[in-house]
Amino acid sequence: MVRLITHNMLTCHVKNCTKDNYPLVFQDAAVEIRPAEPNLGFIERFLPKLEWSALVSTAKALGDDSLPEVMPEDEEELRSEEFLTKLHHVLMEIHVEEGAMVCRGCGHVYQISSGIPNMLLAEHEVGR
């Protein structure tokens, strides 16, 4: 049940892992599309928080290339219903059910099983 909205917010939290720790790369991802009630106002307010390039590259890796490479600069296009609906689909309806997320910096593998990523760290990986 990892949605891309959450994945876009997730970095690696292993001790001393500060370089290339975002975004986590999906591996052997099993994707499931689950329709969700759109709330376009929420998506619109969420826009400034998104890291666009990470979102697009991740969506592409999961086989969805409906989003443009660069975030539209035109305000009207950005706030248009069509664009926000597309964004809603990518952020809220794509769920990764199985697989793993790998940190490019330290190589830590976060296993995902039945939609729940295992974020537990070994004792020596916990930051202070």
Partner 1 sequence: MSRPEEIAPPEIFYGDVEAKKYTGNTRVQSIQAEMTDRAIELLALPPDEAQFILDIGCGSGLSGEILDEDGHYWVGCDVAPSMLEVALQREVEGDLFLQDIGQGFGFRPGTFDAAISISVVQWLLNADSAAHSPPQRLNRFFTTLHSCLRNPSRAVFQFYPSSDDQVHMLTTAAQRAGFGGGVVVDYPNSAKKRKMYLCLMVGQSEIPKGLGENGMEVEGDAGDDKVKNEKRRRTERARGKKSMKGVVDKDWIMKKKELYRNRGKEGVPRDSKFTARKRKPKF
Note the residues at the interface with partner 1 (CB under 8 A).
Answer: 1-3, 5-6, 9-13, 22, 39, 41-42, 45-46, 49, 51, 114-121, 123, 126-128
| Phi–psi pair at 98, nearest 5 degrees | -130, 165
Residue 48 or residue 63: which is nearer to partner 1 going by CB?
48
Closest by alpha carbon to 64, among 51, 55, 73?
55
Work out the end-to-end distance of the chain between its first and last CA atoms, rounded to an integer number of angstroms. 29
Residue 40 or residue 78: which is nearer to partner 1 going by CB?
40
CB of 71 to partner 1, least distance (A): 17
- CA max distance for the chain: 49
Residue 18 or residue 65: which is nearer to partner 1 going by CB?
18
